[in-house]
Amino acid sequence: MSTAESNSGLTPTEHAHIEMLSRHYENKRSACVEVLKYVQTRYKFVADHHLSEIANLLAMSRTELESVATYYNLIFRQQVGAHVILLCDSVSCWIMGRDKLCAHLRQHLGIEPGETTPDGAYTLLPIVCLGHCDHAPAMLLDDELHGDLDIKRLDELLPLPTEPRL
């Protein structure tokens, strides 16, 4: 989806799909998480104008939907890169060296957590426990969960620039 497309409203096809999703629930507002996820699959994030449009379609206030969207840390409210790295920063991963991995990513991507590389390839985000503590440190790379990470494994999973950028 291009930036121009993500700046425009939802398409008639997307409206129809949202209607279809909301029909699975007695109260259509109950479909809100599913609808937010659907819109995110289309645009990679849920823009402000899309949030307002979804709220109208689901008969919710914008504030109600905003509070749902910000509660779920897998719903992105800002543009993200082509690949999203969600590196766990909870206790087991922290004990098992996630800070070293984070430093490696920061250095080679040239960004801080919460930022996207200038070429739009990667966004680096912290995330709370992924439920993979027995394989800490862990991360979600896009939709895939990876555990038992070390720098070698990170470099295999992500074609990082070899020269540090920071």
Distance in angstroms (rounded) separating the CA atoms of residues 86 and 141 = 6
State the minimum distance, in angstroms, from the CB of residue 161 to ligand FES. Answer: 26
Q: Please, which of residues 84-123 interact with ligand FES by CB under 6 A?
A: 88, 90-93
Shortest Å distance, C-beta 16 to ligand FES: 38
Q: Which is nearer to ligand FES, 144 or 163 (CB)?
A: 144
Least distance from ligand FES to the Cβ atom of residue 52, Å: 34
Of residues 96 and 111, the one with the C-beta less far from ligand FES: 96
Radius of gyration of the chain from Cα atoms? Answer: 18
């507002």: which residue's tokens?
A: 29
Least distance (Å) between residue 63 CB and ligand FES = 32
Give me the half-sphere count of Cα atoms (radius 13 Å) on the Cβ side of residue 125.
22
Q: Phi first, then psi: what are they for 146, rounded to 5°?
A: -130, 135
130-159 footprint of ligand FES as x/- string (CB under 6 A): x-xx--x-x---------------------
Q: Would you say 95 and 88 are in contact if contact means Cβ atoms under 8 Å apart? A: no
Task: Report the distance separating Cα 30 and Cα 40, nearest Å.
Answer: 17
